[in-house]
Amino acid sequence: MATNTENIKAQMRKGVLEYCILSILAQHDAYASDIIAKLKDAKLIVVEGTLYPLLTRLKNDGLLGYRWEESTSGPPRKYYRLTPVGQAFLNEMNTTWEELVHAVNTTTGKK
Amino acid sequence: MNKTVTTNIGGFIFHIDDIAYEKLSQYLNTIKGYFKQSEGRDEIIGDIEARIAEMFREKTGNTKQVVTLKDVDEVITVMGQPEAFAGESESSGSYTENSSSSAETASSRKRTRRIFRDPDEKVLGGVCSGISAYFNIDPIILRGIFAISFFVFGSGFLLYLILWVIIPKARTTAEKLEMRGESVNVHNIEKTIREEMEELKQRLNNLSGEAKESVRKDGKIRTGIHEVLDFIATIFRMLFKALGKVIGVVFLIAGITLLIVVIASLTGLPGFVSINNHGDEIRLTLNEIMYTFLGSQQLITWATISAALIICIPLLGMIFAGVKLIFGIKTRNRVFGWISAILWTVGLITGIIVAVSVAKDFKITNTQRSNFTISKPNENKILNLEVSNNFKDFEDQSAELGEWMVYVDENEKQLFRLPQLDIEKSSSDSIELEVIRYSRGLSRKDAVSNAEKVNYKFSQNDSTLLFDKYMSLEKNDKWRMQDVKMVLRLPVGQTIYLNEEMRHIIYDIGNVTNTWDSDMVNRRWKMTQNGLACVDCDNLKNIGDEDDEDWAPEAPETPEEPEVIVPPAQPAPPAKQKTEAAVSDSGITREQYDQLSKLNRMYLELKYPDTNLVL
């Protein structure tokens, strides 16, 4: 039972995570560490490792693009940005999210 | 003081403590293991390494040049354990609503146990400990079994090597965890099957639901068909999985058994059994059998190597496939495939070379005839034909190999066999014996010398002609299709007596009554114009000749004899015709003939009460 609850929580977090990443990038281009910092503030993720596979996948799906930028403190950094496809996807997600929030609020009676 | 290692992370050079390096490389390997199936694996690893490099750069500087274990630990804490984040990319892999099914695959991957070699618990290659972990047993049991089987013609050793090659090593922590996953026992297998059935049922339900839906929603039909195909595929996958395991077990057992037999034969275990007259087993090794063909030890060695390669490699492949099917290992080791293909070809070529070089020895056939005049016996005019057993002492200790007998003693091997004797009518007035020796050889000269080396003797002592029972090759001579055939030519009027033992060597001797060879012995035979005729067959014990209704005697000179009168009911047209001819010749009426045949029948019934006469 406990594992099931954990599982649902993890699923919920995962669904939201991508939405959040896209939202962060919609504001401005960002380096992985910047994204992580924001996500950590929001307590969405705890470890950085989580992000890399996600970013790679989103990029492969055509939602994200990146450019290299020289760094003073190490290897060149990848700065991610939202592609037009990503922007469209994010818009769709925004609608879905609002619908979801409405649905949850209605059913849980939190309004 | 610590040893440091220089390493390249994300394109930057770092000096890193030995222990820290171990930990870091293990960590990275674990990550690699987790992203094995992900398409962007290299990119993910690259990003992570770049980030790690960045963090190390922050931690090191002029005052601190070396990356320490503490740094590595901190980096790992920041990045997180792969178990914690690897799942993200897997389960969020599909945007479709049924994320539950992807979660299920993730959890089922964790559940099923995979086989690996265990590098931490190894004695040799970690095969035993790996298999033990798979079946959840104490590795000492398997080790014991393998240790014992090492001595069964090294079969265990071979099997161990095969397993070593096919079972992958557990390199990463993830793989080590998988190796020790939930144990494979009956309960869990049952559970897995039940879950799969459940899933199947679920899909079936979804299917019918979606079928209805697809009518309403446009464009959903494609997914419906997709679901159907998926469903069928799942059923087949389940069936094949079960079938594969069964086939795997069969392959493994058959392969190992055959391999043991082949290795045992090739390494000289006497595996070829022949039963002699006393019911004792005479055993020959493959080496000894090959010797009779090949003759030289060098050729035998090559033939053995060739046979080993040609037979063992497919058997090893079979065991290979069996293990792969049982444990569901998917790795394809191309190198070993190529090596075994090359070795097999080498074996085949060697075999062909040996076969050709041996076949050359059979190229020329030599037939050597020699004629001997046998002096006619003086007084009673009967020539006794007898056999003396020149291999009396060896006969019982020799193994039969087709028509040949092989006697093996220490390092000596000798081949011998029965010759064949035919008896014909002589064109002259004297008794003649022709001895024909056959052999094959590389050249005419070789064939002649092979034929000359065949030992066969006969001797005459007054009225007795004594034949050797066996013809033999010289000791250690090889088989080149040597043979001895004899023809004894008798002038008309000469009587011979065939001794009991003659049955061994007489072969298809023509005679007027078409009597079988085995029935000809212990009797006197006289050469007539038409061939050999029995002189003392009146008191014939067996009626082997008469009850065979297919053929009638070739020249019925005396039709009055009961043996020759065939009743009319007998379905043998040629015989009947002859009888009728005899009837008209002797001028008797039909009634008389019928009466005669009745009498004949009574006579035969009285004479042979036990025989079922077809009249």
Q: B66-67 and B12-17 as β-strands: parallel, antiparallel, unpaired? A: parallel
Q: Residue B542: pLDDT above 70?
A: no
- Domain borders along chain A are 2-108
Nearest Cα to Cα of residue B502 among B419, B433, B424, B434: B419
Q: What is the mean pLDDT of residues A77-99?
A: 89
> Which residues of B are less than 8 Å from A50 in CB distance?
80, 84-85, 88
- Nearest-neighbour CA in chain B from A49: distance (Å): 4
Least confident of B106-115, B196-205, B304-313, B437-446: B106-115
Facing residue for A53 by CB, picked from B10, B89, B103: B89
* A106 contact B CB<8A: no
Percent of chain B with pLDDT over 90: 7
Q: B364-374 and B431-441 as β-strands: parallel, antiparallel, unpaired? A: antiparallel
- Nearest-neighbour CA in chain A from B314: distance (Å): 43
CB B399 within 8 A of CB B479: no
Least confident of B267-271, B275-279, B517-521: B275-279
- Nearest-neighbour CA in chain B from A48: distance (Å): 4
Backbone phi, then psi, for B445, in 5-degree steps? -60, -45
> Which residues of B are less than 8 Å from A17 in CB distance?
88, 92
Q: What is the pLDDT of residue B45?
A: 84
- Nearest-neighbour CA in chain A from B53: distance (Å): 7
Q: What is the pLDDT of residue B177?
A: 67
Q: What is the pLDDT of residue B172?
A: 65
- Non-local (6+) Cβ contacts of B131 within 8 A are B115, B142, B163, B167
Q: What is the pLDDT of residue B220?
A: 52
Question: Which neighbouring-strand residues pair with B412?
Answer: B409
Q: What is the pLDDT of residue B565?
A: 43
Question: Which neighbouring-strand residues pair with B500?
Answer: none
* A71 contact B CB<8A: yes
Most confident of A30-39, B281-290, B415-424: B415-424
Facing residue for A47 by CB, picked from B11, B38, B85: B85
Facing residue for B51 by CB, picked from A32, A57, A60: A32
Q: Specify the fold of A2-108.
A: Arc Repressor Mutant, subunit A (1.10.10)
Q: How many CB pairs under 8 A join A and B?
A: 97
- Domain borders along chain B are 4-90, 97-243, 253-360, 364-539, 543-615
A50 with B85: Cβ contact below 8 A = yes
Least confident of B442-456, B511-525, B535-549: B535-549
Facing residue for A11 by CB, picked from B43, B51, B103: B103
Give the residue from A18, A48, A64 with the most B CB atoms within 10 Å of its CB, the best one to mutate.
A48
Torsion angle, alpha carbons of B9, B14, B20, B23, to 10: 10
Distant-in-sequence contacts of B119-127, Cβ < 8 A, 24+ apart: B119/B169, B119/B170, B119/B171, B120/B176, B124/B160, B124/B164, B125/B160, B125/B163, B125/B164, B126/B169, B127/B160, B127/B163, B127/B164, B127/B167
CB B97 within 8 A of CB B77: no
| Distances from the Cα of B206 to the Cα of B202, B214, B217, B231, B312, angstroms | 6, 12, 15, 10, 51
Q: What is the mean pLDDT of residues B531-544?
A: 68
* A96 contact B CB<8A: no
Tell me, what's the ipTM? Answer: 0.85
Within 13 Å of residue B47, how many CA atoms lie on the same side as its CB? 24
A74 with B57: Cβ contact below 8 A = yes
Q: What is the mean pLDDT of residues B47-51?
A: 87
A49 with B85: Cβ contact below 8 A = yes
Q: What is the pLDDT of residue B351?
A: 92
Q: Residue B468: pLDDT above 80?
A: yes
pLDDT higher for B237 or B173? Answer: B237
- Non-local (6+) Cβ contacts of A84 within 8 A are none
Q: Which residue of A has its CA nearest to B86?
A: A50
* A68 contact B CB<8A: no
Q: What is the mean pLDDT of residues B207-217?
A: 58
pLDDT higher for B431 or B165? Answer: B431
Within 13 Å of residue B187, how many CA atoms lie on the same side as its CB? 2
Q: Which helix (H) or strand (E) holds B240?
A: helix B221-266
* A48 contact B CB<8A: yes
| Distances from the Cα of B353 to the Cα of A7, B181, B299, B307, B360, angstroms | 67, 53, 10, 12, 11
Q: What is the mean pLDDT of residues B404-427?
A: 85
Q: For chain B, what is the mean pLDDT?
A: 76
A57 with B93: Cβ contact below 8 A = yes
Quickly tell me which residue has 């920041």 as its tokens: B78
Give the residue from A9, A16, A33, A57 with the most B CB atoms within 10 Å of its CB, the best one to mutate.
A57
Q: Which residue of B has its CA nearest to A55?
A: B44
Q: What is the pLDDT of residue A111?
A: 54
Nearest Cα to Cα of residue A32 among A83, A84, A77: A77
> Which residues of A are less than 8 Å from B14 in CB distance?
none
pLDDT digit string, tens, across residues B572-598:
444 444 444 444 445 566 777 777 777
pLDDT digit string, tens, across residues B234-247:
888 888 878 888 88
pLDDT higher for B498 or B556? Answer: B498
Q: What is the pLDDT of residue B144?
A: 85
B48 with A73: Cβ contact below 8 A = no
If pLDDT is split at 50, 70 and 90, which confidence band does B334 have? confident
- Nearest-neighbour CA in chain A from B54: distance (Å): 5
> Which residues of B are less than 8 Å from A32 in CB distance?
47, 51
Q: Residue B98: pLDDT above 60?
A: no
Structure tokens at B256: 């190992």
pLDDT higher for B197 or A107? Answer: A107
Between CA B340 and CA B346, with CA B344 as vertex, the angle to 5 degrees is 115
Q: Residue B1: pLDDT above 60?
A: yes
d(CA A35, CA A29): 10
Q: What is the mean pLDDT of residues B57-86?
A: 82
Q: Residue B288: pLDDT above 90?
A: no
* A54 contact B CB<8A: yes
- Non-local (6+) Cβ contacts of B270 within 8 A are B283, B284, B285
pLDDT digit string, tens, across residues B436-448:
999 998 888 988 9
> Which residues of B are less than 8 Å from A46 in CB distance?
80, 84
A56 with B78: Cβ contact below 8 A = no
Sheet-wide strand order for B364-374:
B364-374, B431-441, B483-490, B420-425
A57 with B91: Cβ contact below 8 A = no
